[in-house]
Structure 1
Amino acid sequence: MPSTCLEIDRVSKRYGEVVALREMTFEVRPGELFGFVGSNGAGKTTTMRIVLGVLAADSGEVRWNGAPVDFATRTRFGYMPEERGLYPKMKVLHQLAYLAELHGMSIQAAQRNAEFWIGKLGLRDRRQDTVQSLSLGNQQRVQLCAALVHEPEVLVLDEPFSGLDPVAVDVMSQVLRDKADEGVPVLFSSHQLDLVQRLCDRVGIVRSGQMVAAGTVAELRSGAAARLIVEAPDAPADWARGLAGVTVTERTAGRWTLELAPGTDEQRILHAALATGPVTEFSRHKPTLGELFRNVVTEGDAR
């Protein structure tokens, strides 16, 4: 059976001597929110532009439903570029209906969908305003409406939360979750890693044009080195020095973060801490997505 995933398969892209993508490979499954994260220049936007046909890949393939993506397929995709791609002097309602018609919808369906998404994203009072008269946050909402108005089968969103206030972030988050619940694969990039961690089903970390880690946050955490938080107010600064398999990664005012080598006995560490006085906290530390991301980027820079 053909796959119903959006598949990016060994996609490469060069600009002269600069390698933008190096066999970029991952998939976005039906009903999945996939967070695409990486430093500036890591290759996220280039990947998205290739998926949408804005750029051509040098090699590799993008597939949807098991078949290579072509122009007809891309008309069923919803795309939100990082740079706003709207007509600034057109009124919001007219513009959205026009874009829906360009994707093949009837005039009636286009008008109905435009009105629906304007209301859904809190723009009803601005429907007859020009885009250029809106705040940057409201322009971002209109841009999302434009990606959704033609009922796309796939959503590809480049920094959709940029410039939004917390209320707008919550609205947009719920819209993306609702679309995923309908079975739509949703791929979006963001530098707001706490939001990605909270919202996404899976995350892909990109470095230097390659996918270097992908999975749920729990899966990414499971591959990270074990860490302990130890709070011992009376312990001397060097109490953990010399403990086999233990590296102190952070210390502030009676609180230590320890990285453990595989197989290190945690109880031995607890006993060593108790020997210095009371221990008010002793817990495993689960790294945040931000910490995982920094570790991956740091490893790449060290090579």
Structure 2
Amino acid sequence: MTANAIEAHGLVKIFGRQRAVDGVDLTVPAGSIFGILGPNGAGKTTTLRMLLGILDPDEGTRTLLGTDHPLDVARRVGYLPEERGLYPSMKAYDAIAFMGALRGLPLAEGRRRGRAMLEEHGLGKAADKEVRTLSKGMAQTVQLLGTLVHDPELIVLDEPFSGLDALNQAKLERMIRAQAARGVTVIFSTHVIAHAERLCERIAIIAGGKVPFAGSVSQARDRLRPQVRLETRALDGPWRAALPADAVPEGHFWHFTLPETGVEPLLRALIEGEAGILSLSIERPGLHDAFVAIAGADAARQLEEDQQQESADA
């Protein structure tokens, strides 16, 4: 495998008068867990489909596993689309085998692996059950196992957590980490910041078809300075002049952005001024704060609305 599993430069996709994807650049290192984070309608699915060769870009270039003809390496890829779909009359292990056969895995081997994978994930008793009789979470697990059964080098998951309860979400997270531990590249789209923050080494934030940020989660969080929470015994004194201009009082507590000079000069001034430090904590901004700063309040609000709607539909 090449150093980068995916490279894309200036991807554009136009539907009618709408630029659904507008100049997207992406680099996904091989063996990494990469998240595309953004609200519904931001262009996540269209971007993934262009990377996979399901859609051709109107502008720009992309390479997948070292080739600019993605369909040529389709058998080395596992793809879970946003629109879930299994043949309802198929037995669970047959559904897994069928999906593997579409990627070149012999059907008999797919059936053997399908049974073994179901057993491994605590669904051995469901192997011979028809898909129509499975719960939503079980059916989604079957489809995910079908995505993995042929041992792909690259796994692409479009909104894989959508519709899953907390238990099945945790199970999926473990499966993603297990694949990455084997050296498999995993790229997934999501509108849930927590999943991206917990799982991803690198992310791309997408809003309105554009990618205003692509890099490590740490780099995204570093766009904002850490926040300080200070508790003092004294309410007033000469030490207050050392506090930053954005310091907000709340009784004996103060909240402010960590100065660029660091905390040491501030501590010295507080001690010398006899502020009486009772507690001091420094909190690094989370990915949610970084998302708001990078993509804007409207995109962040849309993310929250998407999650609320998904919870209501569950």
On whether the aligned pair clears a TM of 0.5, the verdict is yes
Unaligned runs of 5+ in 1: none
Give the match for residue 286 of structure 2: 288
Given that 1:235 and 1:276 are in contact with CA atoms closer than 8 Å, whether structure 2 keeps it comes out as no
Deviations 1:89-134 (A, max 9, x none): 3221111112211221112221122123222333211122222322
Give 1:293's aligned amino acid: F
Unaligned runs of 5+ in 2: 300-314
Decide which structure has greater helix share.
Answer: 2
Separation in 2, partners of 1:243, 1:119: 63
Given that 2:88 and 2:131 are in contact with CA atoms closer than 8 Å, whether structure 1 keeps it comes out as yes
Separation in 2, partners of 1:57, 1:271: 58
1:37, CA displacement in angstroms? Answer: 0.7
SS of 1:140 mapped into structure 2? helix
Give 2:294's aligned amino acid: V
2:244 is the counterpart of 1:221: no
1:79, CA displacement in angstroms? Answer: 0.8
1:34, CA displacement in angstroms? Answer: 0.8
Deviations 1:128-154 (A, max 9, x none): 222232222112211211211122121
Separation in 1, partners of 2:58, 2:265: 54
* Structure 1 pair 86–231 and aligned structure 2 pair: CA distance change class (3 A): farther
1:158, CA displacement in angstroms? Answer: 1.3
Given that 1:39 and 1:207 are in contact with CA atoms closer than 8 Å, whether structure 2 keeps it comes out as yes
Separation in 2, partners of 1:235, 1:140: 57
SS of 2:147 mapped into structure 1? helix
Given that 1:270 and 1:282 are in contact with CA atoms closer than 8 Å, whether structure 2 keeps it comes out as no
2:93 is the counterpart of 1:125: no
RMSD: 3.0
Given that 2:65 and 2:73 are in contact with CA atoms closer than 8 Å, whether structure 1 keeps it comes out as no
Give 1:282's aligned amino acid: L
Separation in 2, partners of 1:246, 1:45: 44
Give 2:22's aligned amino acid: R
Given that 1:3 and 1:64 are in contact with CA atoms closer than 8 Å, whether structure 2 keeps it comes out as no
- For normalisation by structure 2, the TM-score amounts to 0.82
Q: How many residues align?
A: 297
Separation in 2, partners of 1:71, 1:192: 29
The more displaced of 83-92 and 142-151 is 83-92
* Structure 1 pair 120–51 and aligned structure 2 pair: CA distance change class (3 A): farther
Give 1:96's aligned amino acid: I
Give 2:52's aligned amino acid: L
The more displaced of 137-146 and 273-282 is 273-282
Separation in 2, partners of 1:256, 1:61: 50
